[in-house]
Amino acid sequence: MRLGWRRSSRAEDRFETWIAQRHQARVLAGETNPVGSCPDEGFLQDLARKSKRIALSDPRIDHAANCPTCMARLLALRQENRSRQRKLVVILTVAPCLVIVVALVFVARYGVHRERLSANLAVVSQTVNLWHAGTFRGAQPGSLQSVSLPPAIVRLTIILPRFSEPGQYLVAVTRDQNGNGVVAEGSTKANANGEAETVSVRIDLRDAKAGAYFLSTTHEQDQTSYYYPLQIR
Ligand SMILES: [Zn+2]
Compute and round to an integer the Cα radius of gyration of the chain. Answer: 43
Q: Over the stretch 167-189, which tens digit does the pLDDT of each residue have?
A: 999 999 999 888 888 989 989 99
CA 75 / ligand 1 centre spacing (Å): 13
Ligand 1 mean position, distance from CA 50 (Å): 17
Q: Indicate if 136 and 227 belong to the same structural domain.
A: yes
Closest alpha carbon to 54 in 66, 40, 69, 72: 40
CA of 31 to the centre of ligand 1 (A): 14
Residue 7, pLDDT above cutoff 60: no
At a CB cut-off of 8 Å and minimum separation 6, what does 31 contact? Answer: 66
pTM: 0.48
Query: How far is 67 from 73, CA to CA, in rounded Å?
Result: 10
In 4-67, where does DSSP find H-type helix? 9-28, 41-48, 59-66
Percent of the chain exceeding pLDDT 70 equals 85
Q: What residues have a C-beta under 5 A from ligand 1, the ion? A: 38, 67, 69-70
Q: How far is the CA of 13 from the centre of ligand 1 (A)?
A: 23
- Backbone dihedral region for residue 194 (phi beyond 0: left; psi -120 to 50: alpha; all else: beta): left
138 lies in the same domain as 224? yes
Tell me 230's DSSP state: E
Same domain for 78 and 146, yes or no, is no
Q: Show which of 70, 88, 106 is a domain's final residue.
A: 88
Residue where a domain terminates, one of 88, 105, 136: 88
Q: Per-residue pLDDT tens for 31-89?
A: 667 778 889 999 999 888 877 777 878 888 888 877 778 877 888 898 898 898 889 88
In a domain, 100, yes or no: no
Distance 81 CA to ligand 1 centre (A): 20
